[in-house]
Amino acid sequence: MKPLAAQNEDEVVVITHEDVDRAHDRSRVSAARARRGFSSNARLLWLLVGPGVLVMLGENDGPSMLSYAATGAKFGIGFFLPFVALTFCMAIVVQEMTVRLGAATHRGHAELIFDRFGPFWGWFSMIDLGIGNFLTLITEFIAIRAGLGFFGVRPWIAILIALVILYAALMSHRYWTWERITLAAAAFNLVFVPVALMTHPSWPAVGHAFITWQPLPGFSKDTLLIVLADIGATVTPWMLFFQQSATVDKGMTTKDIRFGRIDTVIGAALATAAAIATILATAPLFAHQMTSDNFEAAQFAQALQPLIGRFGASLFALGMVEAGIVAAITISTSSAYAFGEVTHKPHSLNLPMGEGKSFYAVLTLCALAAAAIVLIPGLPLVYVVLLVNVVAVLAMPPALVFLFMLVNDKEIMGDLVSPLWANILSSGVVFVLTAAGILFGISIIAPNIFAALGGK
Amino acid sequence: MTKKIDHIPPIISSADETLVLASLEHDQLVGAKKHLIPRRHLKGPELVVLWSLRLYLLFMMAVVLYQVWTVAR
């Protein structure tokens, strides 16, 4: 490390390897920004796209794709198509705030909560994140195991393959390379689109569903669970922590916020396409009156095989594997970022192994522990999968309130505080999530009251 | 007696130092992040909201555990 002439007389700031790597990435952005024209803008977009697409496609993970598959199989084409698109709009509102926060403060989400609100509230949010991330990580390995199981791969080999891919993405010790490898893997999430096309969906019915939001599902406990699972499939606490930390690690500044927003919208559009494609792909199971209760990823692929053939079913199973792998990479990275931010240990994907021992150790240990749990024989994995999205929805309102307070904090955000319309939208998201959680609670502890409200 | 060196700091060239100075904002530097952002004083209504949501979450987690317990039975 080399001492640097500080801005403050009595302050000596050192330059690290991480700074140099980030500066190389930023110099390319500056060079692209200095030029004019369409190609320069396209280049700038290519350089700045990443955290938004990764967070959105990362959230199209194992349990999420399973939720969408269950939605299609249980309810067919109808209300849930526009509803899922709406949940991604909610995700854009929420994630855009993390881009602004990261670009304005150059601090991760966990770090800001600890610094601004103190360790008491900081630890609460870290416990929420830690439990949620670990449960979700387990479900990613369940998806990988189930997806590869379709091809006859043994569980331990499937888990080993996933761990090798996760480790390979880390080996570059460069944020940029890691991001590009993970983006390439995440693009495979769109494999659900050709699968949906193979089922020859009724496009007039799809159009009708988007315009009228009908047919409506009956108001029942099952419907509520699917509604909650589909919301939890698009907005979860780890996404806030990940996108803000990745924005900081990428070195984005306030000049890049416009591209950060575009990145988020592109990610949401791609993820919506994959989610809706999954609902369309499994909708024929509803049409054929096939019950899909307790289906796992591979069982959906097997059920679809008579309708779309072995190739289509294989693509579906591979899509589940991809969803699990990309999410395992992003979620374990989110945990490692948060740990480093809270403990003030080095935390960046630009760190060489020697300088980022704790960062890489947390990342690897989270993945290894979750992978090991999935291999325990006789564990009720289906319960975990069903509960993860519900837990995510329940944990979201407290996480959103911290985000809301931070992004409206003039001392750290300056002129980049949220405008009124953004505050109204984000308050609406908090209200919807809290109401959904309360309805879920009523349906469990007081099913009679729920039935009186019109449910079954 | 020899002293064990755990970690040898990387050598940063002058060219890299110039690049860092030209490309990164001061508070983007790892060294600059060692300073904590000052604590914010939470007002009464803010504390009420935070505590309400904390209790909401604890209650809902108990509901989830109850559901797991009933399904497991």
Q: Find tokens 């938004």 and name the residue.
A: A52
Stated pTM of the model: 0.89
How much is the ipTM here? 0.82
Helix (H, G, I), strand (E, B) or coil at A5: coil
Q: What separation in angstroms does the CA of A447 have from each of A214, A274, A433, A439, A443?
A: 26, 34, 20, 10, 5
- For A346, the token pair is 């080095």
Q: A386: nearest CA in chain B?
A: B68
Cβ contact B53–A398 (<8 Å): yes
Burial pattern A115-124, b for ≥16 Cβ within 10 A else e, equals bbbeeebbeb
Which residue among A13, A395, A411 places its CB closest to the CB of B29?
A: A13
Our CA-based measurement puts residue A369 at a distance from the nearest CA of chain B, in whole angstroms, of 22
CB atoms within 10 A of CB B58: 10
pLDDT in the model for residue A292: 55
End-to-end CA distance of chain A: 66
pLDDT in the model for residue A354: 83
Give the pLDDT confidence of A250-303 residue by residue, as tens digits. Answer: 999 999 999 999 999 999 999 999 999 999 999 888 766 665 555 555 678 888
The partner residues of A4 in beta bridges, in order of sequence, read A13
Would strands A2-4 and A13-15 be described as parallel, antiparallel, or unpaired? Answer: antiparallel
**Domains of chain A, residue spans:** 49-452
What's domain A49-452's architecture? Answer: Up-down Bundle (1.20)
Give the pLDDT confidence of B7-48 residue by residue, as tens digits. Answer: 555 677 888 888 888 888 888 888 888 788 889 888 899 999
Identify all chain B residues contacting A106, using CB atoms and an 8 Å cutoff. Answer: 25, 27-28, 33
Identify all chain B residues contacting A8, using CB atoms and an 8 Å cutoff. Answer: none
Q: What separation in angstroms does the CA of A87 have from each of A8, A204, A276, A437?
A: 46, 23, 12, 15
Amino acid at position A198, single letter:
M
| Whole-number Å distance between alpha carbons of A117 and A253 | 24
Identify all chain B residues contacting A380, using CB atoms and an 8 Å cutoff. Answer: 72
Which residue among B9, B10, B28 places its CB closest to the CB of A106?
A: B28
Biggest distance spanned by C-alpha atoms of chain A = 75
Please determine, for residue A152, whether its predicted confidence score (pLDDT) is greater than 50.
yes
Cβ contact B40–A395 (<8 Å): no
